[in-house]
Amino acid sequence: MARYIFITGGVVSSLGKGLASAALGALLQARGYSVRLRKLDPYLNVDPGTMSPFEHGEVFVTDDGAETDLDLGHYERFTGVSARKTDSISSGRIYSNVLEKERRGDYLGKTIQVIPHVTNEIKDFLRVGETEVDFMLCEIGGTVGDIEGLPFFEAIRQFIHERPRGECILMHLTLLPYLAASGELKTKPTQHSVKELQSIGLAPDVLLLRSEHPIPEKEREKIALFCNVRKDAVIAAYDLKTIYEAPLAYHREGLDQAVLNAFGIEPAPKPNLSRWEDVMDRLMNAEGEVRVAIVGKYTQLEDAYKSIAEALTHGGMANRTRVKAEWIDAEIFEREDTAPHLERFHAILVPGGFGERGTEGKIKAAQYARTKGIPYLGICLGMQMAVIEAARNLAGLADAGSEEFDHEAGAKRFTPVVYHLKEWVQGNHVVARKVGDDKGGTMRLGAYNATLKAGSRVAQVYGTTEIEERHRHRYEVDTQYRDKLESCGLIFSGMSPDGRLPEIVEAKDHPWYIGVQFHPELKSKPFQPHPLFADFIRAAKEKSRLV
């Protein structure tokens, strides 16, 4: 049976619970334990799939097709454990499940209440897969005291009470603010946060304190005394140069040892941190630098492209090269020439997105990369923009565009080289979709296989002709234009196994020009960079030497 670690936060949000959870998972792995990480989000959306990237950052997609919180990306990048649908839950999903059961009559006419029906549903979720791993790390979104989070905290209280003693611990992350006027760190917010936890029947075993300044010994002693926590379980979490320093930094501060002590695991296995030492060596001792332009529409919030930013860093690690990514709003190119903005970059990446806004700018960025011989990686919508650009400027289809934009505008304006995907094969059955379907969870989601053309650039990059990648889209490039586009030099080098859906296109006579319908960034890890990103940065490095 798994031991459970519940990670909560207090004082303010966005302190880094997800990163702390991921780093702790990596440290437990380094000591030889198996782990799984979960996220419990109190919001009422069923999942983040229909949320604006400005609201919630990127949507992370799992192999089995769940649209989840971006923290699951941290979990995967740090532990290498592929997340599943059962690793992400929201209040919306919990209430939806409870109400479905009530409508079916599963509760035999009982009055449905938060306790026990909602809390029981949460506890059932916590138990899924508990025999598979040594440690289950469960992060609760938001901060203690949030009204929407109370059912989760109550469910955890019950869960801990029902398990044998010593099988569950609580790790609480708080902020230690520094008052410049008095020149001191203030412990009172942490004390109040712990008091709030204790008022709902929970007591932290480990305290993780975010601070920009060193925490004096007397402050640690004071916190340990007032919060009823052992002094060696009061751990400092300082700001880091890079998130990948977190496992080594937390280990230096004694986080993993404090957690194992709380479980009474003594003596604990010694950690092997060579993987993270190598990651830091590659990051801190990079040779040279490349500049990559990310031309997108959600550039005001970098979390909207979190996995892409990290995958570029991983690609840099693979080449011992520092990657300087800059975000450029695609709409600028609808008003201004692309050259002054893009000529200083060694590579261009156009990421995914939804809606017509900014797409003409993305098309111009793709054209600039193609005509100037600059390495180009188009992801999802970025691939579709590359196809539309080639259709317009090489194949003579001046009004080429996407059905998505016509649907959005309510008028037919384009020749649809990109169309709404109405059916596809998933496993051994066919999935059908209509334009008017609900938006949530109705895309082509999760891992699908693709077959690569032998001898193509992507086959060389992957080192195989059979791959599996994660998808999140409802529009697809139309194969009826394939012959016309291939005759102009845009090769369809990756297809779905049944040959119906284009997965990858590449420019024939170009140093590196690839568009992919899937999201390779979701599978990249610091200790295992995705081959496409590794080769993309290699090509950018070559370009930097020519400039």
Q: Among residues 469, 506, 521, 530, which one is catalytic?
A: 521
Q: Is 314 a catalytic residue?
A: no
522 marked ligand binding residue: no
29 marked ligand binding residue: no
147 marked ligand binding residue: yes
222 marked ligand binding residue: yes
Distance CA 376, CA 387 (A): 13
Question: What does residue 355 show for φ and ψ, rounded to 5 degrees?
Answer: 90, 165
546 marked ligand binding residue: no
Distance CA 414, CA 115 (A): 54
Q: Among residues 380, 476, 506, 510, which one is catalytic?
A: 380
Q: Is 519 a catalytic residue?
A: yes
82 marked ligand binding residue: no
Asked whether the CA dihedral 334, 335, 337, 341 is positive or negative, the reply is negative
Distance CA 517, CA 503 (A): 5
Asked whether the CA dihedral 336, 340, 344, 346 is positive or negative, the reply is positive
338 marked ligand binding residue: no
186 marked ligand binding residue: yes
353 marked ligand binding residue: yes
Distance CA 98, CA 295 (A): 43
177 marked ligand binding residue: no
Provide CB contacts within 8 A for 365, sequence distance 6+: 293, 295, 328, 330, 333, 338, 342, 348, 350, 385
Distance CA 136, CA 309 (A): 28
208 marked ligand binding residue: no
Q: Is 277 a catalytic residue?
A: no
465 marked ligand binding residue: no
Three-state DSSP at 5 gives strand
310 marked ligand binding residue: no
Tokens 């004071």 belong to residue: 222
Pairing of strands 429-432, 88-90: unpaired
Rg (CA), the chain: 25
422 marked ligand binding residue: no
Distance CA 335, CA 348 (A): 19
- Peptide bond before 48: cis, by omega within 30 degrees of 0? no
389 sits in which H/E element: helix 381-393
- The distance from CA 190 to its chain's CA centroid, rounded to whole angstroms, is 29
158 marked ligand binding residue: no
Q: Give me the residues paired with residue 208 across strands.
A: 173, 235
Distance CA 302, CA 310 (A): 11
Widest distance between CA atoms in the chain: 75
- Peptide bond before 520: cis, by omega within 30 degrees of 0? no
Contact yes or no for 357/299 (Cβ under 8 A): no
User: By C-alpha distance, which of 89, 82, 37 is closest to 63?
Assistant: 82
17 marked ligand binding residue: yes
512 burial via Cβ count (<10 Å: 0-12, 13-18, 19+): buried
Contact yes or no for 475/387 (Cβ under 8 A): no
382 marked ligand binding residue: yes
13 marked ligand binding residue: yes
19 marked ligand binding residue: yes
* Six-digit token string for 499: 């040959």
220 marked ligand binding residue: no
Q: Among residues 172, 251, 519, 530, which one is catalytic?
A: 519
189 marked ligand binding residue: yes
User: By C-alpha distance, which of 286, 255, 293, 300 is closest to 273?
Assistant: 255
- The distance from CA 155 to its chain's CA centroid, rounded to whole angstroms, is 27
Catalytic (active-site) positions: 380, 519, 521
- Residues annotated within the binding site for ATP are 14-19, 71, 240
Give binding residues for CTP as ranges: 13, 146-148, 186-191, 222
Instruction: Write out the binding residues for L-glutamine.
Output: 353, 381-384, 404, 474
- Binding-site entries for Mg(2+): 71, 139
Residues flagged as binding site? 13-19, 71, 139, 146-148, 186-191, 222, 240, 353, 381-384, 404, 474
| Binding-site residues from annotation for UTP | 13, 186-191, 222
